[in-house]
Structure 1
Amino acid sequence: MSAEDITTTDTTTDTGALPDAPTAPLLPRSEFVGLPDGVSHLYAGGEAPVLRAALEALADYAADKSGGGPGRRRMEERVEAARAALGRRLGLPHAERRLAFTASVSHAMDLAARALMTTPGEIVMLDDEFPSLPLAFAGQPAEAGVLRFVPAGEGAEQRLIAAIGPRTRAVCVSHVSFLTGRRLDLAPLAAACRAAGAALLVDVSHAAGVVEIPVECCDILVACTHKFLLGLHGAGFLYWNEERLGRCPVVAPGWNSAARYRVADGGLDWAPRDGMAAIEAGNPNFGSLYALKAALDRVDALPLRTVETHALALAGRLKALLAARGIPLWTPRTAGHAGSSVAIPCAEAGAVAARLAEEGLLVAASDGRLRLSFHLHTARDDVDRAAAALATVLP
């Protein structure tokens, strides 16, 4: 995708006073692995740095795994503690029965798509979504339904609403775009979906842990945990609103799905477990969930609103600095319409990111843009340093 394909480019030049931003991170960089002095880690939207507490949790996992039956029971207890902690952090009602852990966003999306498409219909989404969203539906049988894409960019919410029709089974969107950093207003989408009897499925991978999510608007939530939640790879989640959608179908059962199982008289007799744990077909990724629980414990004393205010202030200062230099943005300048990442069109993004890395600035580069992400380990010095470097390396 090139800059010409994006309809959200902001080229506003702002020569007024720069917005202030926090001078210190919310968590000391010394609490993270691999963040020495001289490195500005602005890559959390791709790979967040790992907390030292997560490494300690992996040691606990290893000890428990070696601990026989008592160790296994501790492992299962830690998974449930992680489920409860994640529910509290994100404000998910009844997480103990509505939240399932998955292997990834793609895994969560596959399960959600299969569950939704037990009733055929149309899926509406934006044309710049991350591939895991549309491909989950593309992999379903042709008779299950069709994908309908609408253009992204400013006014996307109204285009999505206008695309909802009598056959619409679900609207599937990202709360914060991986590509542009634009944040959707979910409230009008939710109202339109409910009026039409459609589900609103939201990928919150670029929101969870750094900006508040209007959970009350969402029927299904999916996300990874290795970005702003500060977890590791191998653990995602799927949250299913039973009040709106009824019980989630168990579309890919495994041994862990069954509350009752037996083979008798040449037939199979089984019943699923109660709640979303029924879709957790086998063993979860215990190690990743130990690490996630440790990360959630570490940030528990920092209200999510505090983290959001911190990160958005940093992103806002960078956007103002770049605009003052005439550098175009794909990310809206208004904080309420954006997450904590800033996307800059750049045809040679890979080469520019490599040059920045040589100067100790770690940024994401793909899809014809650079992406700089702010979180609780970043501060104003990272912003100012990045703005100065970008002014010299951007073509």
Structure 2
Amino acid sequence: MNNLATKLTRHPLREQLYAEIHARPFPLITGSVDVLHLALLTSQSEAAQQLEMLANLAETSQQPAPAKNANSFYANMPAYELRWEKHQEFCTITLITPGTTDLPFNRDLTGSLDAQWLDVIPGQLLVRLNLRFERSAQQPDSRQITKFFDDSQLYGSSIVDGKASMWSSFRLHHDDAARILVYDQGLSDYQAGRTLQRIIEIETYRILTLLALPYARSLIPKISDTGNALTRLIKKMQIQESQYELDEQELLENLSVHAAKVEDFRASTAHRFAATSAYNQIVLQRLSDLREQSWPGFSSWKKMLERRLVPAVNTCVSIEGQLQNLSEQAERANNLLRTRVDIKIEEQNQSLLQSLNRRSRLQLRLQQTVEGLSVVAISYYVVGLIKAIAEGANKSGLSADPAIVAAIAVLPVLGITSWLVRRIKHTINQDDND
């Protein structure tokens, strides 16, 4: 079996596919920790710059450097655990520091890193989260917890079958960061790591879900104006036939302008709306994984997020549907206008053909008239020649009256001339057909 396996041709992605399932492992949490989590929107070049900075940081700390073009990097630094992950449009940096006896959110977690390092890291900061994961055998006091969130409205739930609880205000505090407090009352180290990761992902992806909402709202008046303009254009297409040629060019130009606007709106929002739907599904899945139960006197995370995220997602879906309808409306108007133009062109062509037919008939009659006149003219000159010949013969002693000879020659000459003209015409027509 081993010999056979060594002779088989291996797929070039085989090892990568086996490693993929282990690509983003959960952290292992063995006690209370403080967490600083950052999510930054990045381009491909900015993500590469972040990876280069991480490599320099690892070298300074005498840690293994990340692989080139890596999508994740994890390192145990002397004072903290560093976790970096690259996603499609953003990167995350997570610092996990062993907890202290200090009150939650009283530590400056950036002190674990060189402050200048965080100041110059490329990307646009979207999420900044301070999280305290507290292992405690005592039931948390909800009144005390509220003070840790500057007395803001608090949302809390029991999770993982009652083995832990999570709390957040879902707002930025005076330190320009969101806050989450987790009390662990029976999780294993692996469960704690998975729970911590899921809670962090809920915070990250809920903000990413809402990222499309400002774009969607900004499009509402533009969509309304464009829709009204298309409606007016369609009504203008119902003008009287006498006004058709005067408005045709204007209709076509305006329709093209508004159709281009609609397609520009769709192109600029397609990725954002698709990402919103995907991020929302991740949030719902992570909430389901936590097996959340309500905490007496507090709204649960699920209820709060559904109350905020569902309308936002529905707004994006509605805007996307309106853009689709506008695109179809513009296409129908364009087809209607093209049909109208085609009919008008066909009518003009029909009128032109009729005019050409009339001209052809007139030319034919004129040609026939000219042919008749030509026969008469040729016959007149031929008879004149015959008469001249007869006069010459009469003077030579032949007894022939020139007038009688000319009169007798008229009919034969007309017949022969007419036959010759028709013969020549037939030969010419036959040559044209060939």
TM-score, structure 1 length as denominator?
Answer: 0.21
Higher relative contact order, structure no. (Cα contacts within 8 Å, ≥ 6 residues apart): 1
Q: Which structure is larger by alpha-carbon Rg, 1 or 2?
A: 2
Of Structure 1 and Structure 2, which has the larger fraction of its residues in helix?
A: 2
